Amino acid sequence: MKTMLAIISNALCRITGRSALLIGLSEYVNLTSPPAAAPVPPQARRLPPKPPPVRPAAGGAAQLVSSRTDRPDRPGARVVASRSLSDFTPQATFDIKKCDVHRLEAGPPVKAELTREQGLQYYRTMQMVRRMELKADQLYKQKIIRGFCHLYDGQEACAAGIEAAINPSDHLITAYRAHGYTYTRGVSVREILAELTGRIGGVAKGKGGSMHMYAPHFYGGNGIVGAQVPLGAGIALACQYQGNNQICVTLYGDGAANQGQLFESFNMAALWKLPCVFICENNKYGMGTSVERASASTDYYKRGDFIPGLRVDGMDVLCVREAARFAADHCRAGKGPIIMELQTYRYHGHSMSDPGVSYRTREEIQEVRSKSDPISLLKERLLSNNMASVEELKEIDIQIRKEVEEAAQFATSDPEPPLEELCNHIFSNNPPLEVRGTNPWSKLKSIS
């Protein structure tokens, strides 16, 4: 039987192009099978060949998985294959869905290049947002997070794709479903969850909560429906005034798309050719009302009329990235504003007080999960094109779960802000001032 296995082993070597397998198949039988009654003569056994020399790869990681056997002298020993970075496809080109365009001669490309490093980065970003939101859901149901809480799971490709297309120095402002963008703009999961639980270690020192988180070049998190859109136009005006070649990405939902202040902002941005990318995240429902019942026209990318527009597959991170890059280049070229509609989907209800199944069926949600999930789509691309291994992605998942769990431990053990912190940071750079409390005799101090 060993002779037959040796023949098979040599044939596999020729097929794979390797000079030798890690260990011969005949030897593998010895490792995984109970020992025979009669001992094998030493001269009949072959020692496993030494692994080939490791070639250093970019990033300093020479090898992803070590070549080893765990106690090869023991029956049932596990053999782990060696796989270096050179075994993976470093870059691939993918066909992506064509964007619908309005007042544009040409749209974004229909092919997208993806490097292995980018793919792993996007995968980690989206998985981190997904796990963070699921943990927030758990903490809310435990009544550790209170008040308003709008979760972003399902829409991760929007935040990851936009961030991949713009510069860190560009500006971004969004509505109240802001956790994902808070993370992609550079705030840690630890600070986000601590803010949700109202702790002093939160990004806004526990005083902002779910809808009011901020970071450099990130302006929230705004609780009033649609109110962030005029602010985004103002930030774009500041970019134009300063001449710094920066843009502002201004996000809103389909529920805000019918507000008058949006059209006022569109008009001013078009008149002054402001470098503003207006993005409608169309997740199909404004609170519990479907877009078909709320809007006479659901072509949100055409709502600017005189402003060019794009309709994009918001469940594909590569589609979002290419479209956002196209839109950013449009603005930087001095052509004025542009509108993007990202067709996406939220898995949770509108907020944690909404079960999300009174106006849509569970089957509808499950169908989107099974056919259009942004993380599953990217994972399939990476695996089917040999850009990552199953084990590698599992290791990333394990690391993310651990990081989110540690962040949750911090968010539930960190102290709440003391009363003397209540009125601090009303102004950015003023000297300390007194603030009246609930009555004329109650005085609080504000420190910038």
Closest CA to 304 of 274, 346, 324: 274
Strand 289-290 to 309-313 pairing: unpaired
- Cα→Cα distances 361→285, 294, 353, 432, 439, Å: 13, 19, 17, 54, 51
Distance set, CA 50 to CA 22, 47, 81, 395 (Å): 8, 9, 13, 26
Residues 6+ apart with CB under 8 A from 125: 156, 159, 160, 163, 183, 184
- Rounded to the nearest 10 degrees, the angle between the axes of helix 189-196 and helix 390-413 is 40
Give the pLDDT confidence score for residue 19 in this predicted structure. Answer: 47
What is the amino acid identity at position 3?
A: T
**CA angle, 163 then 208 then 225, to 5°:** 70
Predicted confidence at residue 98, as pLDDT, reads 98
Are residues 163 and 184 in contact, defined by beta-carbon separation less than 8 angstroms?
Answer: yes
The pTM for the full model equals 0.81
- Domains defined for the chain, CATH in brackets: 98-417 (3.40.50.970), 420-447 (no CATH)
Backbone angles phi, psi at 320, to 5 degrees: -65, -45
Q: Is 439 exposed, middle or buried (0-12, 13-18, 19+ CB in 10 A)?
A: exposed
User: What pLDDT is recorded for position 427?
Assistant: 87
Burial of 176 (0-12, 13-18, 19+ CB in 10 A): buried
pLDDT means over runs of 10, the chain (448 residues): 58 53 40 43 42 41 40 44 78 98 98 98 98 98 96 98 98 98 98 98 96 97 96 98 98 97 98 98 96 97 97 98 98 98 97 95 97 98 98 98 98 95 87 85 86
